[in-house]
């Protein structure tokens, strides 16, 4: 990590309540090592886990914890702090803190500063794995992301409560690295990214369809990561229940043929196409105009093959850098390498699916392969973390390909 990557940055570190609050002390030290000036605000619950004196000694600045500090608030110190910061980083960010931020509460010093400041805001969540997975928490995070709040992590592993899963606070070094990357030169500035995400639905009749279990999370995370790195992103989304990440154009489709038309309309004007959608391979040959009724016997469907979108894009006279996905239940590397070569891809991301892996999960693991024997294993992590690492690799491979043309 660039040890001076935050030189001159004024970082207001908010520490919310939770056992991970003790890790914020190391974070203050790491932020200082990276060149930042740090001031710390503790929530009332955080002060039950850690003391202000610790953070004052590490930061060299007074620590604030209350809106009702008469000596500080006589000079409207919460407004002074809001104006002083050019980065607000909340780590750990508890489920309660995230909920209050998402809904615009200003009932303590930290949330008041967040509303009163024009600074960039980042949160590093830390909570029990079930709290992290809860629909309310995910909806609150989606709201924050729509407003441009950065979300760092969480990591996955054993937790203080004894559970295992996503929800661990990222290590201090990783949080600082994320903050440096977010503030630094954006590696994909000037590039146009086209990303497809989610499933396709192939209608049997007006009521029923053939589909798959893709949630679209991986594709949306890739689109978000590319936009954060400066790319102009067009996201083509199948039927998913996900909010559009900030800073991109979204096109909604339902069927494979609709997705094919949308992709081909955009592909030639893009530098990179990431085909993360789980496109149905087959569709009913005929869609029944009315709901099919039970007849007491078997229902036979005649299926025809859907267009191969990647193959069509690969055949374009002016084709973008092509990134495909391979979701496999066995022989993952073998099948992915074969797909890479057969479809003339520039990179493929392969993952094992089934038995709690891949689809409908908040985390994943990826094996990246590219021509010439290139290989990189990305260990199981939150899909947004994986997306950032995948997008970084895409950028490197795109630049390498340009140098050889």
The answer to whether residue 161 is catalytic is yes
Give the tokens for residue 141. Answer: 């995070």
Of 229, 230, 325, 221, give the one whose Cα is nearest residue 273.
Answer: 325
Of 79, 120, 123, 75, give the one whose Cα is nearest residue 99.
Answer: 123
Polymer length of the chain: 405
Report d(CA 13, CA 25) in Å as an integer.
10
Q: What SS3 class is residue 217? A: helix
- Spot the catalytic one: 161, 311, 338, 379: 161
Q: What is the CA radius of gyration of the chain?
A: 24
Give the tokens for residue 34. Answer: 């990276």
Report d(CA 316, CA 324) in Å as an integer.
16
Give the tokens for residue 316. Answer: 């374009």
Whether 242 contacts 272, CB under 8 Å: no
Report d(CA 281, CA 301) in Å as an integer.
15
Please, which residues bridge with residue 150 across strands? 122
Report d(CA 110, CA 242) in Å as an integer.
28
- For residue 145, how many C-alpha atoms fall within 13 Å in the half-sphere facing its CB? 23
- Residue 264 burial class via C-beta count within 10 angstroms: exposed 0-12, middle 13-18, buried 19 and up: middle
Residues annotated as catalytic are: 161
């Amino acid at each position: 990590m660039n040890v001076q990557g935050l030189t001159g940055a004024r970082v207001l570190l908010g520490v919310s309540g939770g056992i991970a609050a003790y890790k914020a002390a190391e974070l203050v030290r790491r932020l200082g090592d990276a060149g930042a000036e740090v001031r710390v605000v503790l929530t009332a619950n955080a002060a039950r886990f850690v003391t202000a004196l610790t953070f004052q000694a590490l930061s060299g600045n007074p620590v604030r914890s209350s809106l009702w500090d008469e000596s500080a608030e006589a000079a409207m110190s919460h407004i002074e702090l809001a104006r002083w910061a050019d980065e607000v980083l909340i780590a750990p960010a508890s489920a309660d803190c995230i909920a209050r931020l998402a809904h615009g509460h200003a009932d303590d010093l930290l949330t008041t500063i967040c509303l009163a400041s024009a600074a960039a805001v980042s949160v590093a969540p830390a909570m029990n794995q079930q709290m992290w997975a809860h629909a309310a928490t995910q909806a609150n995070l989606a709201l924050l992301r729509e407003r441009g709040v950065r979300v760092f992590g969480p990591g996955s592993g054993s937790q203080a409560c004894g559970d295992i899963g996503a929800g661990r606070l990222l290590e201090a070094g990783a949080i600082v690295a994320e903050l440096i990357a977010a503030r630094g030169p954006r590696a994909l500035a000037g590039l146009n990214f086209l990303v497809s995400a989610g499933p396709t639905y192939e209608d049997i009749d007006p009521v029923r369809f053939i589909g798959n279990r893709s949630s679209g999370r991986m594709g949306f995370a890739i689109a978000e990561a590319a936009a954060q790195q400066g790319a102009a992103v067009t996201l083509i989304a199948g039927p998913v229940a996900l909010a559009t990440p900030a800073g991109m154009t979204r096109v909604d489709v339902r069927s494979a043929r609709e997705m094919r038309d949308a992709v081909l309309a955009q592909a030639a004007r893009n530098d990179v196409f990431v085909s993360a959608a789980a496109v149905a391979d087959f569709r009913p040959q005929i869609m029944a105009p009315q709901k099919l009724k039970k007849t007491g016997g078997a229902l036979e469907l005649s299926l025809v093959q859907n267009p191969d979108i990647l193959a069509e894009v690969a055949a374009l006279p002016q084709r973008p850098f092509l990134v495909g996905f391979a979701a496999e239940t066995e022989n993952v590397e073998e099948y992915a390498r074969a797909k890479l070569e057969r479809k003339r891809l520039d990179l493929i991301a392969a993952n094992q699916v089934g038995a709690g892996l891949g689809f409908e999960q908040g985390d994943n693991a990826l094996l990246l392969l590219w021509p010439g024997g290139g290989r990189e294993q990305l260990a199981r992590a939150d899909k947004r973390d994986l997306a950032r690492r995948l997008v970084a690799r895409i950028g490197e491979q795109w630049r390498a390909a340009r140098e050889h043309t």
